[in-house]
Amino acid sequence: MASMIARSARIATVTGIRHVARIGAISATTTTTTTTARLARPSSAMNKTATRFFSVSRIARDDQPRLRLGSTAPNFKAETTEGAIDFHEFIGDSWTILFSHPADFTPVCTTELGAFAKLQPEFAARNTKLIGLSANGLESHADWIKDIEEVSTGGTKFNFPIIADADRKVAYLYDMVDHQDLANVDKAGVAFTIRSVFIIDPNKKIRLTLAYPASTGRNTAEVLRVLDSLQTGDKAGVTTPINWVPGEDVIVPPSVSDEAAAAKFGEFKAVKPYLRFTKYPEQILKK
């Protein structure tokens, strides 16, 4: 009887570990049997327990939504270098690019912010706002901007807001912390922010997410290229192939019949029944 009870307990423990692994609450290899049993409770109890293990974040699991393409971008209020904002009000009827930085006065991020500042007119021409985020306060941001203007903008004045997120509330809201950074904390015990990019459309939907390692600078041309692709696709009802840039041929979606494609785009080239190219829809985009 004792051996049967012990075997049942082992099965229950393994089942609980698998359940926890599926929901991503905590790695099974770092829990005890007692902890696993607690985390396998119904969701309300599980969330309270998970909060203890992620106390470094100071944010409950329920406050960190799972963000996917098509998710509504979480709203928040924050102080920025250009004043207080409500994020959804800031977006308004524009596209918005939100990108984060682990700290002020970091070398890679200094070059990135300068590059985005130089391209800001291109984004503005596409009805797109830029907004950065860094895990420091406004005074630090102001001093950092002076450095950015000196070394990275080529004389261009810094021209978009940076969110002051010293307590990482926005960073956690947007899941801008990677696995390693849960243990990589500052003096206050708060995890550092990773370098993420979000493209958000006027409907407040997330259309692109990117996460970069600390060693690799972002590619502003690629962010602009994806924005062009999204806006072209939304307006003209097309998709874009590998390495596409504006002016090049686009793809007719498989959901569009040959007859409908001919009526809408005129000529098209069918490489395969599911792969049809047509000219850049300049006239449609001008409407």
Region for residue 168 given its phi and psi (left: phi exceeds 0; alpha: psi -120 to 50; beta: otherwise): left
**Catalytic residue (one of 46, 97, 98, 109):** 109
The dihedral built from the CA positions of residue 271, 272, 275 and 280, taken in this order, carries a sign that is positive
Alpha carbon distances (Å) from 242 to 29, 229, 245, 265: 40, 11, 9, 21
For 69-135, the three-class secondary structure string (H helix, E strand, C coil) is: CCCECCCCEEEECCEEEEHHHHHCCCEEEEEEECCCCCHHHHHHHHHHHHHHHHHHHCCEEEEEEEC
C-alpha 35: how far from chain center: 32
Region for residue 83 given its phi and psi (left: phi exceeds 0; alpha: psi -120 to 50; beta: otherwise): left
C-alpha 123: how far from chain center: 18
109 among known catalytic residues: yes
Return the closest-CA partner of residue 120 out of 83, 89, 86, 82: 82
Active-site residues, by number, are 109
